[in-house]
Amino acid sequence: MIICWGIRKRLVDWRSNDLQKFVFGGGVKMIGTVKEIARAVKGMITQSRKNQEFHRVSIDSRSVKTGDIFFAIQGHRLDGHQFVRAAVRQGAGAVVVAKSVRSVPRDVSVINVDDTTKALGRLAAAHRRKFSIPVIAVTGSAGKTTTKELVAQVLAARYRVLKNTGSFNNFIGVPLTLFQLTKQHQMAVLELGTNQPGDIAWLTSIVHPTFTVLTNIGEAHLEKLKSPAKVFQEKIQVLKGMDKGGKILINSDDPWLRKLLSRVWKDRILTYGIKGDADFRAEKVLLGRGQQIQFRIDGQKFELNTPVEANVYNALAAISCGRVFRVGYQTIRRQLKTFDFDCSRQTIKSIGGVMVIDDVYNANPVSFRSALKTLAAWPTRKKRILVAADMLELGEWSGPSHLAMGTLAADLGIRQILTFGTNSRLISEGAVRRNPAVLVEHFSDRLQLHRRLAKVCQPEDVLLVKGSRAMQMEKTVVFLTKHFSKD
């Protein structure tokens, strides 16, 4: 049992039961024998070597080592069954397949399953249940990865923590992360992502979290999730599959998440926020003129090396987790102060006198609103310029969402907008509808956009570059870096 210290004078009892590319495991605990693995993945052994044991899992034939178990994952572009022979040549001791494969040597075990991706998850679930440690799941519409990283950094001051690398938050990344779990780990922090109904329920069945962090609910992946209400229903599936004695940490400033306070989980919920009452509430939030934010919790002062106000919420989640798991305020303060807010999530770059807000990692209306507020708040005597590409996976919400971003940009005083793509044209349209004085230009060709930016941008301008991952707006940041660094 872990005893969590007082939260608002309450004592909460809580019970919990170098990365090589696509090769996971190798810890003290083995993954299992061929019979144990077949049982875990609900597969049938069609050939095997007696008493064969496995310690590592691979889904990439190029990185297979002697004795690995290779899963032939069927992806959108590649089918792992095409690489079974290559995996065997590399030394794979077993292969998990959903199709018939030929010419597999007799000393290589073959396990047939209905679906290799599901089999990978089932085996990861079996491996995870060998460990009685706290497992924290982080999910929400925006801020998941940054929150996961902050939580892990705070807890790493006291515990040996396993976490997803980058945004390994899907049906492949989560299982592969769990295969790294060994008896050396004292805690795991795992980000769970979704883009369609059922994703969170499946990932939760694999992870079986003992503690859950919900960041926010908004307009994300609406092409398949259809509406924020259904996003909410999808996200809270994590609560149904978590440990029955576990706690739930929510952003109580989020109107959707506040609904949980009146549900069956209310006695297990802890809260963080800025606007209203919360177990962990940030006060005196001060946005500095540089790349820093300061705030206080219960008289304790914290400082973040970022100008992004939304990161206060992400940090609050980390502070809350730290206190629940008995990390002192002074240690938490140090861990947050040294955290590097990077990875193209509103990263500030001064390039040849032009201030570039690099937010090209991804885009949905929740993160877009946050980025626009950062642009509007950045001090400058010159222009604030929005360079925006399409927000994808919004379905029927795409048109209204892009128009709304343009309206907000105009309301925030942004007077020049350059858009790239297809639906992003509506951002310009929304801005001009709100304020005809806004200068807007749309481009379907990236090179033309870059040529125009070279003429438009001047020293001391502030420039936000934003778009969904598939729009590859990092190419625009690279162009700006080369162009203005040269100047």
More confident residue, 441 or 395: 441
The answer to whether residues 26 and 56 touch, using CB atoms and an 8 Å cutoff, is: yes
Question: Domain-by-domain residue ranges, the chain?
Answer: 23-114, 132-337, 347-486
Q: What is the pLDDT of residue 82?
A: 93
For domain 347-486, say whether CATH 3.90.190.20 is its number: yes
Task: Work out the average pLDDT over 190-214.
Answer: 93
Token couple for 299: 């008289």
> Are 317 and 215 within 8 A, CB to CB?
yes
pLDDT score of 117: 96
* More confident: 347 or 15: 347
| β-strands 69-71, 56-58 pairing | parallel
pLDDT at res. 282 = 93
Amino acid at 299: G
* CATH 3.40.1190.10 is the classification of domain 132-337: yes
- The pLDDT of residue 13 is 31
Question: Distances from the Cα of 461 to the Cαs of 51, 55, 355, 376, in angstroms?
Answer: 67, 54, 6, 12
Task: Choose among 79, 44, 85, 34: nearest CA to 64.
Answer: 85
Tell me how many degrees the CA angle 394-395-398 measures, rounded to the nearest 5.
60
Tens of pLDDT, residue by residue over 26-71, are: 444 578 999 999 999 999 999 987 778 899 999 999 999 999 999 9
Query: How many other C-beta atoms are found inside a 10 Å radius of the C-beta of residue 90?
Result: 18
Q: First-to-last CA distance in the chain?
A: 60
Would the pLDDT of 4 be above 50?
no
**Which CATH code for domain 23-114?**
3.40.1390.10
pLDDT value at position 457? 92
Do the domains at 23-114 and 132-337 have one common CATH topology? no
Predicted pLDDT of residue 403: 96
Residue 12: pLDDT over 80: no
Buried b (16+ CB within 10 A) or exposed e, 273-295: bbeeebbbbbeeeebeeeeebeb
Find the angle CA(394)-CA(396)-CA(401) to the nearest 5 degrees: 60
Per-residue pLDDT of 136-163, as tens digits, reads 999 998 888 999 999 999 999 999 999 9
The pLDDT of residue 220 is 67
Mean of pLDDT values over 267-286:
91
Q: What is the mean pLDDT of the chain?
A: 88
More reliable by pLDDT, 387 or 21: 387
Query: Average pLDDT in the 119-145 region?
Result: 94
Instruction: Specify the pTM.
Output: 0.81
pLDDT category of residue 225 using cuts at 50, 70 and 90: low
pLDDT, tens digit (0-9, with 9 covering 90-100), for 371-407: 999 899 888 889 999 999 999 988 888 999 999 999 9
Beta strands at 56-58 and 23-25: parallel, antiparallel or unpaired: antiparallel
Query: Is the pLDDT score of 7 beyond 50?
Result: no
Q: Are 463 and 357 in contact (CB under 8 A)?
A: yes
Per-residue pLDDT tens digits for 79-111: 999 999 999 999 999 999 999 988 899 999 999
pLDDT band, residue 24 (cuts 50/70/90): very low
Dihedrals φ, ψ of 345, to 5°?
Answer: -115, 85
The total of other beta-carbon atoms located within 10 Å of residue 404's CB is 18
pLDDT given at position 8: 34
- Whether 1 shows a pLDDT value over 50: the answer reads no
